[in-house]
Amino acid sequence: MIDPNIWRRLAPAMGLATALTGSILAGVLVGAWLDRRLNTEPLLTAGLAFAGLVSGAVHLSRAARSSNPDAPPPPDDRSEPPSP
């Protein structure tokens, strides 16, 4: 028998897949629209699709890192020197 809570356990993975796909699709759609308006086909479509891919990969990487309890914490970005 299938576990009735399977969708709850699959939801984070489906959300990440949707975010990655959505960011690429948004880049393609906006790039194609801009290419038609500015007559620059296919430069903006390819560039924004790649930007969507990078954006989705960064989101996926951050989500995977935050879900791993054994991962070291990210470095502290404060530029203040340590107090004596």
Please give the biggest Cα pair distance in the chain. Answer: 62
Give the span between the Cα atoms of 59 and 83, in whole angstroms. Answer: 34
Q: Decide: pTM greater than 0.75.
A: no
The DSSP call for residue 71 is: S
The answer to whether the beta carbons of residues 28 and 52 sit under 8 Å apart is: yes
pLDDT tens readout for residues 18-72: 999 999 999 999 999 999 999 999 999 999 999 999 999 999 988 888 877 676 6
